[in-house]
Amino acid sequence: MRSYYSHLQAVKSVGEEVLVSQKPTFRSSAIFPVIHNADYSSKVIFMGYWLLKRNIKEIGLLYTLRAAEGNIISRKYLLIDSAKAFSIQLSEFNDLIGDNFIGSLEMEIFSTQDLVYPYPAFVLVYFGDHFSTAVHTVGRIYNDIEDLTKNEEYKVRESGFDIYGSTNLSPFVSLTNGPIKNDHPEITYTINNSKKNSIKGKFNIPALKPFETVFVKLKDHIDLSSILGNDAGTITLGHNFEGFFPRFAVGNFDEKAKTVSITHSYYDSSAIADEKSFWNRKDELFNDSSVAIPLYVTEGYYTRIALYPIFSPSDFTLSYAFYTEEGKLIKFLKDYHLIKSIDNRYEQIDFEEILSKENINTLDTKTVNLICNWEDKTKIPTRVKFGLNVGSKGRSTELPSNICFAPQLGNPAVLKKAGTFRWAPFVNAGRSEVVLTNSASLKEYSKPANVKLNFHREEDDQRISRDVKIAANGSLKIDLGKDDELNIFFNEKSGWMTAQSDNPFLNGYYFDFFESGAVGADHIF
């Protein structure tokens, strides 16, 4: 893991001094574990955003399909000179992979101009007749030894996702090894359950060949039923993997419903407490950090956030500000939860319960702003992660989404930005929607967001444009189930939306809902 300050310099964040030694990025890549069987398959969707965000005329995409053992099955090249939507599906390789396949799909972007980010905005989708689930770029093979060295500034464990002990659910960790074989892969773990217990252990998996892909089912190595019961918990993983960025695709298989829910792991910073682990900017105009999330608390849906004990040692409070779609404050619950790192606690906060307890109208309440504040302003961690769990009750699949998301630090440098560019997919396997939010970590916030929306499809480079205005603390939902124009335009395939805003605080999430109760989701780019 590189420090947050190093990350800001590397991606040329506003207000950060770019080091003289900073190297341009001409290769940006991702490697995904993929599955294709009778119950579900995989695809990677993306759009040619580089042409819009970086004003690059064209880029090259090399995509490589490998078998589980790491041998190359197919390698193809695609010139991208349009901002349209793209989809690379495993069905494209049906004559090579058969009916029951596990392997990896590596996507490499090449450019003659600086791409800035070494990880591209791709989305991995697992999908079947009754579900889809999505996660953005996870692991990647390093560009060179300098890339590797910078990203191993700290050696940390991976965590920040939910696991279950229920009979029908099978938690997993999937990864594709890098170019270095691993003769003795070892995994250490700590599990935090809902009863505030921590259980530690370790196990080994078989030797990994170069570029080998594995799905490690945790129940094959750990008695999760006795540790978790029917409740959720979380796991932190130590490992001895080398030569690749160890961001894992993780989640749970629902063996009965034949569905999957995926997300990605994240850094466990709980053992890091040096000065680079904490935010050193203080401004009385800002809360320490905050983030708005959409609320789904009607028609049998629930919204919960999972709190993971993986932040640098500190104590903070969570306040909740509930808003209508138009940005009207409904109720503010100050310092509602105290979070102490010494508790080492995993828990889920259910907003349906809070709304009921506080007599808040669920029909009018569309978003909640999660506001984090630290009494000790020298101990504001640079990395805090939550899980956004949107799910349904009493349907055939038990699994909610598990979006890995973060509150945004109160950074006064952001005020120098004239606006922002965002983009998001419509997976369009179920009923897809994108929710845009206009929320800031400022204590007093009143700036609306004027947004130019452009919608892109797979079929060609045509687009639909719309101008919208989102009030301060307001939100906007684009629901394909209620938008005939976009439904016809996308023609049952995936599509993308770009959002150019005159306000730097535009953010959002995307969802794919199914009658089975499955919810695929992630945050927007």
Q: What is the pLDDT of residue 467?
A: 98
Any domain includes 57: yes
Residue 220 CB contacts under 8 Å (≥ 6 apart), including other chains: none
Average pLDDT of the residues in 121-142: 95
Which residue has tokens 């199914």? 514
CA-to-CA separations, 447 to 442, 470, 503, 506, in angstroms, rounded: 11, 9, 8, 11
Which residues make beta-bridge pairs with 127? Answer: 41, 132
pTM confidence score = 0.94
CB atoms inside a 10 Å sphere around CB 195: 11
pLDDT, average across residues 215-228: 97
Instruction: Give the span between the Cα atoms of 327 and 132, in whole angstroms.
Output: 31
Tokens in use for 282? 């203080």
Q: Over range 131-143, report the average pLDDT.
A: 92
Residue 46 confidence (pLDDT) above 50:
yes
Q: What is the pLDDT of residue 1?
A: 54
Residue 368 lies in a domain: no
User: Would 33 be classed as within a structural domain?
Assistant: yes
pLDDT of residue 9: 46
Taking the CB of residue 418, how many other CB atoms lie within 10 A of it?
Answer: 9
Cα of first residue to Cα of last residue in the chain, in angstroms, is 21
SS3 359: coil
State the pLDDT confidence band at 6, using cuts at 50, 70 and 90.
low
- Please tell me the distance from the alpha carbon of residue 199 to that of residue 193, in angstroms, as a whole number: 8
Which alpha helices (DSSP H) does 2-89 contain, by range? 4-10, 50-53
Residue 365: how many CB atoms within 10 A of its CB? 19
Does 429 map to a domain? no
Whether residue 76 is contained in a domain is answered as yes
Concatenate the DSSP letters of all residues of 413-429 into one string: GGGG---EEEEEEE--S
Q: Which residue, among 272, 204, 189, 202, has the nearest Cα to 234 in the 3D structure?
A: 189
Decide if 68 is inside a domain. yes
* Residue 12 vs residue 482, higher pLDDT: 482
Please provide the size of the chain in residues. 525
Q: pLDDT confidence of 523, banded at 50, 70, 90? A: very high
* pLDDT score of 283: 86
Whether pLDDT at 320 is above 90: yes
Mean pLDDT computed over 117-146: 92
Rounded mean pLDDT of the chain? 93
Q: What is the CATH number of the domain that holds 104?
A: 2.60.290.11
| For range 486-512, the mean pLDDT | 98
DSSP codes, 293-347: EE---STTEEEEEEE-S-SPS-EEEEEEEEE-TT--EEEEEEEEEEEEGGG---E
- Distance between alpha carbon 347 and the CA centroid of its chain, in Å? 19
What are the tens digits of pLDDT across the range 321-361? Answer: 999 999 999 999 999 999 999 999 999 999 999 999 999 99
Query: Which residue's entry shows tokens 């080492």?
Result: 344
Order of strands, edge to edge, in the sheet holding 301-307? 347-350, 301-307, 386-392, 403-405
Q: pLDDT band at residue 22, thresholds of 50, 70 and 90?
A: confident
Identify the band that residue 216 occupies on the pLDDT scale cut at 50, 70 and 90. very high
- At 143 the pLDDT is 79
Q: Is 60 exceeded by the pLDDT of residue 524?
A: yes
Rounded average pLDDT over 132-148 = 86
**Region 29-47: what's the mean pLDDT?**
97
Do the domain assignments include residue 391? no
Count of domains for the chain? 1
Where does residue 522 rank: exposed (0-12), middle (13-18), buried (19+ CB within 10 A)? buried
pLDDT range class, residue 367, cuts 50, 70, 90: very high
Coil, strand or helix: which one is 465? strand
Are residues 417 and 388 in contact, defined by beta-carbon separation less than 8 angstroms? no
Mean pLDDT of 272-282: 84
Per residue in 302-318, pLDDT tens? 999 999 999 999 999 99
Tell me whether residue 71 is in a domain: yes
Q: If we measure between CA atoms, which residue out of 55, 240, 245 comes closest to residue 152?
A: 245
Spell out the alpha helix ranges (H) of 211-268: 224-228
Q: Are 468 and 454 in contact (CB under 8 A)?
A: no
Nearest Cα neighbor of 159 from 34, 337, 311, 318 is: 311
Question: Higher confidence at residue 156 or residue 148?
Answer: 156
270 or 21, which is more confident: 270
pLDDT at position 276, please?
86
Structural domain of residue 140, as residue ranges?
4-9+23-150
The DSSP line for 203-227 is EE---B-TT-EEEEEGGGTS-HHHH
pLDDT of residue 495 exceeding 80, the answer is yes
Q: How would DSSP label each residue in 382-442?
A: S---EEEEEEESSSS------EEE-PEE--GGGGG---EEEEEEE--SSEEEEEEEE--SB
Percentage of the residues of the chain whose pLDDT score is greater than 90? 87
